[in-house]
Amino acid sequence: MANRSQIQARAAMMRVRFEAAGAQVVDTPLLQPAETLLDLYGEDIRARAYVTSDALRGEQMLRPDFTLPVVQMHMREGAEPARYTYSGEVFRRQEHDPDRANEFIQVGYEVFDRNDLAGADAEVFSLFALQLRGLPLRAATGDIGILRAAVAGLRTTERRKTALMRHLWRPRRFRLLLDRFAGRKPEPELRAELLDAENPMAFDAPMIGKRRASEIEARIEALRADRETPPISDNELVGLETLLNVRETMPFALEQLRDVAVDLPQITPALDRLEARIAALQARGVNVDQLDFEAAYGRTSMEYYDGFVFGFYAEGRADLPPIATGGRYDALTWQLGGGAEIPAVGGVLRPDLMLMVEEDTR
């Protein structure tokens, strides 16, 4: 097992390499205001981050990652374009697996640049590949933007699209909604009763709580309208299913997705971006013919990413978390930017896991 100073030495070395690539070194406080994190991730973050508090500042979280504070810092005071690197501890609660570290060092690289998005994607990926050269790793890539475009362009109501978009990250609930909107799942019995009722608001129970009668009425109206909405077509449904199952090396994946675009033409601009990314990766010497692309990759774990996503995994060590992960998070800069936004892409590496894998191979 590598000790702490070896891990730190490796982290410092990688940070220097990112500096050489043009990044400015930044640091962020260990304690982060809980509010921003809760606002962004909701209650789920409490299962992953350590929460502490004092009477004056309220709830604080031990930094669960760097991306958020780095984005906030950039949106506040950053110049454009910008490239940042950092290294330091992050903290994650581990209540299910005692073998996973609850404190570890991350080294990261983030690019905030409006020009040549495909080029920036390729820059981050190839720099990471360079840092990891020689290790027996498998790289996976994906693109949340394609699925988002597919949902945004469905020929159905805004309400349905918003509901699907909201659960893009929760595949099971996404599936459930999709089945319902496609008319494959019958409406729950009690709901039919409610919607058929002449006056659904004629009930005995007193009105209590902060959710008012008008909100209940509004939802009933929305459900009634939704019932009259024609189902999502089979064409679109099959298109979405085919899209989610695409799992190929990059050039073949693109080819298959172009076929999907016959039924879902709305994904074409996203596919053009994928094509440009493949070219940019190739230009940087990445062997795209060997690089895996999964359309559903990153859907369960990488909440703030909305475009290109990637991860590096140790071959034969399924027990280990990814050695490196990253992706594009344009929407996050808008959410945290208070009106401003800037395209951004970046990722993090785990020096502790790299040293472990190196030891394994020796």
Partner 1 sequence: MSLKLGVPSKGRLMDKTFAWFEKRGITLSRSGSDREYAGKVEGIDGVSLILLSAGEIPRELAAGRIHLGVTGIDLVHEKLPRWEQQVEEISQLGFGKADLIIATPACWVDVESLDDLDAAAAAFRKTHGHRLRIATKYHRLVREFLIDAGVADYTLVDSQGATEGTVMNETAEAIADITSTGETLRANHLKILSDGLILRSQATLWRSRVAKCDTETKAVLNELRDRLR
Residue ranges binding partner 1 (CB under 8 A)? 38, 42-44, 46-47, 95-96, 98, 163, 166-167, 170, 172-173, 176, 188, 190-191, 194, 200-201, 203, 205-211, 213, 215-216, 218-220, 223
Nearer Cβ to partner 1 (9/195): 195
Nearer Cβ to partner 1 (114/166): 166
Taking the complex as a whole, how short is the minimal distance between the CB of residue 42 and partner 1, in angstroms? 6
Strand ranges (E), the chain: 24-25, 31-33, 51-54, 58-62, 82-91, 103-112, 137-143, 247-249, 292-294, 308-314, 324-328, 344-349
Taking the complex as a whole, how short is the minimal distance between the CB of residue 184 and partner 1, in angstroms? 15
Taking the complex as a whole, how short is the minimal distance between the CB of residue 219 and partner 1, in angstroms? 5
Bridge partner residues of 83 (DSSP): 111
Nearer Cβ to partner 1 (5/199): 199
From residue 315, give the alpha-carbon distance in Å to each of 52, 72, 127, 322: 37, 35, 20, 10
Taking the complex as a whole, how short is the minimal distance between the CB of residue 39 and partner 1, in angstroms? 9
Nearer Cβ to partner 1 (197/283): 197
Nearer Cβ to partner 1 (24/102): 102
What is the rounded distance in angstroms from the CA atom of residue 240 to the CA atom of residue 182? Answer: 12
Bridge partner residues of 88 (DSSP): 106
Contact 262, 223 (CB under 8 A): no
Nearer Cβ to partner 1 (89/221): 221
Taking the complex as a whole, how short is the minimal distance between the CB of residue 222 and partner 1, in angstroms? 8
Taking the complex as a whole, how short is the minimal distance between the CB of residue 124 and partner 1, in angstroms? 29
What is the rounded distance in angstroms from the CA atom of residue 227 to the CA atom of residue 193? Answer: 13
What is the rounded distance in angstroms from the CA atom of residue 275 to the CA atom of residue 353? Answer: 32
Taking the complex as a whole, how short is the minimal distance between the CB of residue 350 and partner 1, in angstroms? 24
What is the rounded distance in angstroms from the CA atom of residue 308 to the CA atom of residue 298? Answer: 9
Nearer Cβ to partner 1 (194/283): 194
Alpha helices (runs of H) in 104-157, residue ranges in sequence order = 117-131, 144-152
What is the rounded distance in angstroms from the CA atom of residue 18 to the CA atom of residue 14? Answer: 6
Contact 161, 266 (CB under 8 A): no
